[in-house]
Amino acid sequence: MKKRKALGKGLSAIIPEAEGFEEKTGQFFLCPIELIEPNPDQPRKDFSEPELQEMVNSVKEKGVITPLLVSRKDNIYQLIAGERRWRAAQRGGLDRVPVIVKEASPTEVLELALIENIHRKDLNPIEEALAFKKLITDAGITQDELAKRIGKERSTVTNIMRLLSLPLSMQEDVINGRLSMGHARVLAGLKSSEERISLRDEIIKRDLSVRQAESLAKKAKSGSPKGGKPDSEKDYYFRSLADNLKRSLGTKVEIRRNGKRGRIVVHYYSDDELDRLLELLC
């Protein structure tokens, strides 16, 4: 008889291996790994290869410690939570993994998977937004109801879902980490695609902070100042720097440029304020 591969030191130390297995709803049991399939509606689509390999190494050494959450589908089991552990177990050569069976409808499966990923902070903002949209559509619920179910503020749900208004190229930037959630929210607030593209390029090119991006977006929305010509991208950038200095120093600051040279003018309105600024600057 061919000897089965080990379950790993973690569970095999407490549960004797057996040729058969017994399903116990609500309790974990050791399930043949080939009877488990991933959930096609799993919110998480992006799995970091280094993190996955790290888990493979752990699984080889100690086995799968935390049971996977699954639901029964015909003669197999479909994952609700734990796909990364399942993938690592496959790569690690395990033939059985601990699972807990939960009876759930497809909508409940999506909701449970979403909540589990949110609590683990496993989802990027775009994955989260797509999961919110699917759950709202499939369950026929409002953003208010979704927020209550997953324990978030309604405004948080709204802001995350607004990211889906961005073009796919910018959504990819968020997924790949070129743009943060804060940057994406600023871009989503702009209506013009030209303004979005211009600001997105500036953020990446100059490595702008979210605050600087917000300042540039505000200037873009306001259009031409006092009926004059619209500010150039470079003007937007220097205005945002002046705004940052103003917030840091607590007084009016101007950046006056003349070609590649210029001056930074810091305003004060009393001797006491001058003393305060000198102390900050020196």
Q: Which residues are catalytic?
A: 83
Which parts of 113-246 are beta strand (E)? none
- Three-class secondary structure of residue 180 per DSSP: coil
Write the burial class of residue 175 (CB in 10 Å: 0-12 exposed, 13-18 middle, 19+ buried).
middle
The identity of residue 192, as a single letter, is S
252-264 residues labelled b (16+ CB within 10 A) or e (exposed): ebeeeeeeeeeee
Write the burial class of residue 75 (CB in 10 Å: 0-12 exposed, 13-18 middle, 19+ buried).
exposed
The rounded distance, in Å, linking the Cα atoms of 71 and 55 is 23
Tell me the β-bridge partners of 43: none
The rounded distance, in Å, linking the Cα atoms of 127 and 35 is 27
- The DSSP result for 75-117, as a single string, is TEEEEEE-HHHHHHHHHTT-SEEEEEE----HHHHHHHHHHHH
